[in-house]
Amino acid sequence: MSALLGIDYGGTHTKLLLVDGTDGDGPILARESVRTAGVDELGQEVRRFVADRPVAQFAMTVAGTFDAGTGVVRRSVNMPWLDGTAPAHRVSEAIDVPGSAVQDGIATAVGEATLGAGRGAEDVFVIALGTGIAGAHIVGGEVRAGAHGGAGEVGHIAIAGEHRCSCGQTGCLETWIGGGQLGRRWAEQRGSGAAAVSTAHEVVLAAEAGDEPAQVVLRNAGQALAKALLQVSAMLDPAVVVVGGGVARSPQWTVHPAFDTARRDATFHRLPEMRLAELGVWAGAHGAVLAAAHELA
Amino acid sequence: MSALLGIDYGGTHTKLLLVDGTDGDGPILARESVRTAGVDELGQEVRRFVADRPVAQFAMTVAGTFDAGTGVVRRSVNMPWLDGTAPAHRVSEAIDVPGSAVQDGIATAVGEATLGAGRGAEDVFVIALGTGIAGAHIVGGEVRAGAHGGAGEVGHIAIAGEHRCSCGQTGCLETWIGGGQLGRRWAEQRGSGAAAVSTAHEVVLAAEAGDEPAQVVLRNAGQALAKALLQVSAMLDPAVVVVGGGVARSPQWTVHPAFDTARRDATFHRLPEMRLAELGVWAGAHGAVLAAAHELA
């Protein structure tokens, strides 16, 4: 019996996932998280992981842009050693299994939409609240990428305010709830200046300890997310919206209030079912397995 | 040789359009705009219009919601005499040609996207600036309707401000550039209170005559539209955006400045080609002909 392999090759950790069968949704045969190394070491790591189980196809995530035909990475901000290389091609040679690359955000979204919180729904929008914010509309298991591959940029729709976003605009969703921005909002709220930039996790810990400025920041973040949910509903009308990512790991402070506010503020909208992501850090590896299944089909 | 018939059954005028062949994009054999009458009179009118030319299929627009299976109108705000009737079915009996109903906004959008300003593009978003604002994303000639038929509501994405929208929200695009709202914005700008509500056309005439408050209102309208264009680009990434409708008939005041502002304010966006609608009041009839072609295929 053949299996599929998903490799989620991240900046600090790499997830290896072996799934039975060739549909991508079979039982998990093995999974392992290892510290990320260079591509040659990865090849050895994967060979050890797979042992002598027969693998029909694999896919591996790339955190950056790459050429769809050759798999050559154009630019990886977080993993610059990949620039100009074809990592999936090299792993393929190392393990003697055909494989391809898949963009990491797309793998994560397809994983959650198909096998995670979106499973069973035909039309799912996934929002990943990380350092930045990623979005993807998955219909029938396929990402709607847009005419130039730029669709789903929910992090950069205008919500309110004058905070400068990493994208160059002001007032984007990301300025309110991006993991890289919550610390700045907290510093402003305390009047402590830009010197003291905390992580999203530190803001949540402070809010839990009763820090009022932190609670205000997270309340504002939830309100901004609620507005984005209404915009997604108005423009795309998905059946399900799945919210995940690091910031969603403490959903009581941001995501759950956002779901409640969206329900309260909806007027003409046919609201989607709003769900928390389920696969956590394994979503990308599952998405890679699905990409491998897709290649094989 | 067979032909297709499109009927755009509007609140005041009805457009009849006969197109050669059965693909929907053939040469126009005849077209006529008549004053709208009841469905029985419409049947006679169409019989006269068609004369004895052989029609393979027709479609007619319905300004409202209807059951897709039976064609029975649930609710037509502007043509309440249609509620509970199946107008396409009755016209079909009158002219002895098979036919179906198509939602008027969808027909207009598909007409513009396929045969008007969007022709040749695979992926088109159409914005109709009428009394209200309609939007539709057409990919490969098909409308992306969403999971509950509610997608494309670009008129009700939040832009800014606290103006109450007809949809119950505040700050929607429609509060800035909806034809039914421009007069109100002008009255506010002049400080003349809500008593003096002008039409969109009157606001444009005043701006052309040098009225400064009217010019401010139209400038604000263009700015709001520019923000909406950037949101459409961020979320859907279409290849082409087509802007039409009554308010777009004086594009120098709103639509052209909006295109310029969107180009100036774009950051990460892969902007669509932005075009003015071309088919004017005939877009709906062309869309109905395409719907007839689709039924036949």
Across the interface, whether the CB atoms of A235 and B232 are under 8 A apart is answered yes
CB proximity B205 to A under 8 Å: no
| Of the candidate ranges A191-195, A209-213, B154-158, the one whose mean pLDDT is the lowest | A191-195
- The 10 Å Cβ neighbour count of residue B20 is 16
Task: Give the model's confidence band at B196: pLDDT under 50 very low, under 70 low, under 90 confident, else very high.
Answer: low
Q: Residue A202 has what pLDDT? A: 94
Optimal mutation site among B169, B235, B261, B274, interface A, most CBs of chain A within 10 A? B235
Optimal mutation site among A65, A237, A273, interface B, most CBs of chain B within 10 A? A237
Judge whether residue A195 has pLDDT over 60: no
The residue in chain B having the minimum alpha-carbon distance to the alpha carbon of residue A169 is: B267
Nearest-Cα distance to chain B for A132, in Å, is 14
Closest partner residue to B268 (CB to CB) among A167, A232, A233 is A167
Q: Residue B180 has what pLDDT? A: 87
Cβ contacts of B232 on chain A, cutoff 8 Å? 235
Closest partner residue to B150 (CB to CB) among A122, A149, A237 is A237
> What confidence tens digit (pLDDT) does each residue in A124-161 have?
999 999 888 999 999 999 999 999 989 999 999 999 99
Q: Supply B141's token pair.
A: 């000639």
The pTM for the full model equals 0.92
With CA atoms as reference, report the closest residue to B297 among B100, B123, B117, B145.
B100
> What confidence tens digit (pLDDT) does each residue in B52-94 have?
899 999 999 998 889 988 999 998 888 899 999 999 999 999 9
The residue in chain A having the minimum alpha-carbon distance to the alpha carbon of residue B234 is: A153
> What confidence tens digit (pLDDT) does each residue in A245-285 have?
989 999 999 999 999 999 999 999 999 999 999 999 999 99
Cα–Cα distance for residue pair A125/A135, rounded to 1 Å: 7
Q: Residue B195 has what pLDDT? A: 57
Cα–Cα distance for residue pair B174/A98, rounded to 1 Å: 52
The residue in chain A having the minimum alpha-carbon distance to the alpha carbon of residue B272 is: A147
Q: Which residue has the tokens 């693998």?
A: A55
Same fold for the pair A3-108+281-296 and A121-277: yes
Judge whether residue A196 has pLDDT over 70: no
CB proximity A196 to B under 8 Å: no
Mean pLDDT across chain B, nearest whole number? 94
Nearest-Cα distance to chain B for A57, in Å, is 32
Across the interface, whether the CB atoms of A150 and B237 are under 8 A apart is answered yes
CA dihedral (B36, B37, B39, B43) in degrees, to 10, reads -80
Whether residue B61 contacts residue B288, with contact meaning beta carbons closer than 8 Å, is answered with yes
Q: Which of residues 51-70 of B touch A (CB under 8 A)?
A: none
The CATH number for A3-108+281-296, chosen from 3.40.1230.10, 3.30.70.100, 3.40.50.10540, 3.30.420.40, is 3.30.420.40
Our measurement of the distance from residue A45's CA atom to the centroid of its chain's CA atoms, rounded to an integer in Å, reads 24
0.95 surpassed by complex ipTM: no
Task: Give the model's confidence band at A194: pLDDT under 50 very low, under 70 low, under 90 confident, else very high.
Answer: low
Nearest-Cα distance to chain A for B167, in Å, is 6
Across the interface, whether the CB atoms of B151 and A237 are under 8 A apart is answered yes
Q: Which of residues 157-186 of B touch A (CB under 8 A)?
A: 157-160, 167-169
What average pLDDT does range B232-256 have in this prediction? Answer: 96
CB proximity B136 to A under 8 Å: no
Nearest-Cα distance to chain A for B151, in Å, is 5
Across the interface, whether the CB atoms of B150 and A270 are under 8 A apart is answered yes
Q: Which residue has the tokens 């877009």?
A: B283
Cβ-proximal residues to B2 (8 Å cutoff; 6+ apart), any chain? B21, B22, B54, B55, B56
Give whole-number Cα distances, B189 to A65, B67, B130, B215, B258, in Å.
48, 43, 21, 10, 20
> What confidence tens digit (pLDDT) does each residue in A63-108 have?
888 998 899 999 888 889 999 999 999 999 999 999 999 999 899 9
CB proximity B229 to A under 8 Å: no
| Pairwise pLDDT comparison (B110 vs B192), residue with the higher score | B110
Cβ contacts of A170 on chain B, cutoff 8 Å? none
Q: Supply A161's token pair.
A: 């305010």
What average pLDDT does range A9-32 have in this prediction? Answer: 95
Fold that domain B120-277 belongs to in CATH: Nucleotidyltransferase; domain 5 (3.30.420)
Cα–Cα distance for residue pair A24/A214, rounded to 1 Å: 42
CB proximity A152 to B under 8 Å: yes
Domain ranges in chain B? 3-108+281-296, 120-277
Q: Residue B191 has what pLDDT? A: 87
CB proximity B270 to A under 8 Å: yes
Pairs of residues, one from chain A and one from chain B, whose beta carbons lie less than 8 Å apart: 114
The residue in chain B having the minimum alpha-carbon distance to the alpha carbon of residue A233 is: B151
Report the percentage of chain B scoring pLDDT > 90. Answer: 88
Across the interface, whether the CB atoms of B235 and A234 are under 8 A apart is answered no
CB proximity B237 to A under 8 Å: yes
CB proximity B235 to A under 8 Å: yes
CB proximity B47 to A under 8 Å: no
Nearest-Cα distance to chain B for A71, in Å, is 22
Across the interface, whether the CB atoms of B160 and A156 are under 8 A apart is answered no
Whether residue A111 contacts residue A292, with contact meaning beta carbons closer than 8 Å, is answered with no
Closest partner residue to A157 (CB to CB) among B160, B234, B272 is B234
Cα–Cα distance for residue pair A165/A155, rounded to 1 Å: 10
Cα–Cα distance for residue pair A6/B77, rounded to 1 Å: 53
CB proximity A235 to B under 8 Å: yes
Cβ-proximal residues to B74 (8 Å cutoff; 6+ apart), any chain? B64, B65, B66, B67, B83
CB environment A5-26: b (16+ within 10 A), e (fewer) = bbbbbbeeebbbbbbbebebeb
Nearest-Cα distance to chain B for A20, in Å, is 32
CATH of domain A121-277: 3.30.420.40
Q: Residue B132 has what pLDDT? A: 87
